[in-house]
Amino acid sequence: MHLVDTMHDVDARHLTKGLQASFDHVGMRYPTGTQALDDVSLTVAKGECVALVGPSGCGKSTLLRLAAGLEAPTSGSVALGTTSVGFVFQEPNLLPWSSVRRNVGLLARLAKVPKAEREGRVAAALDAVGLTAFADQLPRALSGGMRMRVSLARSLVLRPEMMLLDEPFGALDELTRQEMQGELLRLYESRRFTVLFVTHSVAEAVLLARRVVVMSPRPGRIAATIDIDLPYPRRPEVRFSPRYVEHVAAVSDVLQGVR
Ligand SMILES: Nc1ncnc2c1ncn2[C@@H]1O[C@H](COP(=O)(O)OP(=O)(O)OP(=O)(O)O)[C@@H](O)[C@H]1O
């Protein structure tokens, strides 16, 4: 199971109020000798949405795994201001033999949320992602976008304060992807959780994030951080605004420069 619901290995105590995550001079060298990250310092404020973009292999997923406590940095430190973290991957990783409802309730069951409470939360999460009518179906009866919604709902059930998303919409076709981006924006704006997400799409990063962090090729360092001054709530139609287009051009330019 590739999902985490609570954090154990990261330091949740020593964070300044208002901060949700802090990477302090983080370096990561895998036992194979690969230096994935070098001297990465980054803070994420509570309720902020930050996107990580960068060339393939620059250590974006590694950074998320460090935030989730799935790996420990080989130098520097990682601290989180919460123990309530949801992790969503590109693959929805659903149990094929379990209904949508049971899949959505899985993490809550593992976290021993009492049954009545769990059922209420599952119903609310299914409603939030528009899957109430499909609650009793098996995953194979769903489209790719619907499966991704199940994966999102499964994390929402734990009411995370922070969501770590690793290329969550990478496997979807363009239209479904846009639909899911709108869905994530809506959830983010209503739940106010903190988001740290990895994407290969500059357009997606600018649409969703308040800040886009551009990483250099491996070993990943932070090459630039770009503020996206488009107000929330954002609607997907913001894509057609000149300001959005300018931001996409600026981030793309920086990304070209680091390659
Ligand atoms: N468990 C591991 N053991 C050894 N090396 C690893 C491990 N995980 C990742 N790496 C290496 O670390 C580097 C960074 O990998 P990572 O997956 O973090 O990059 P990424 O930016 O997310 O890549 P992509 O955009 O292609 O998904 C790569 O060279 C990869 O081969």
Asked if this assembly's ipTM is beyond 0.85, the reply is yes
For ligand 1, atom 25: residue with the closest CA: 56
Counting ligand 1 atoms within 8 A of each CB, the residue from 26, 30, 200 with the most, and so the one to mutate, is 30
Tell me the pLDDT tens digit for each residue of 131-150: 999 999 999 999 988 998 99
- Helix and strand counts by DSSP (H, E) for the chain: 7, 9
Pocket of ligand 1 (CB under 6 A): 30, 32, 34, 36, 54, 56-62, 218
The candidate with the shortest Cα–Cα distance to 20, out of 210, 258, 246, is: 210
Return the SS3 of 52.
strand
Q: Which residue ranges form the domains of the chain, and what is each CATH number?
A: 19-84+160-258 (3.40.50.300)
Tell me the pLDDT tens digit for each residue of 140-187: 999 988 998 999 999 889 889 999 999 988 888 888 889 889 988 998
What pTM was estimated for this model as a whole?
0.89
Phi-psi region at 251: left, alpha or beta (left = phi > 0; alpha = psi -120 to 50): alpha
